[in-house]
Amino acid sequence: MGRLPKVPSDCCATEIIETKPGIYREVPWKDTRTRQEIVADLQRQVDEWRENMIRQFGEKIEAHAEALKSLIEEQVKENTK
């Protein structure tokens, strides 16, 4: 019997399972992962989120630094005229 993934509905996740060859039924989704696997998956998601935030803020900081550098250079040129 095979399983077909289904996009979760509003209130709870469901999946479609094949009960007999060619016959499918929608049932509540059951997480079969162990607690350790769930914690590891959540930690990976947190680490990925953290890396994305650091990268995004790093890019913004670099952009601001470049803008400030340009402003300072313009001020120095105007003051040395």
The SS3 of residue 20 is: strand
Element (H, E) at 24: strand 23-28
Is the pLDDT at 2 greater than 70, yes or no? no
Q: How much is the pTM? A: 0.49
For the chain, how many helices (H) and strands (E)?
Answer: 1, 3
Reported as a single tens digit per residue, the pLDDT across 27-81 is 888 888 899 999 999 999 999 999 999 999 999 999 999 999 999 999 988 888 7
6's tokens: 């289904």
Return the domain boundaries, the chain.
1-30, 33-81
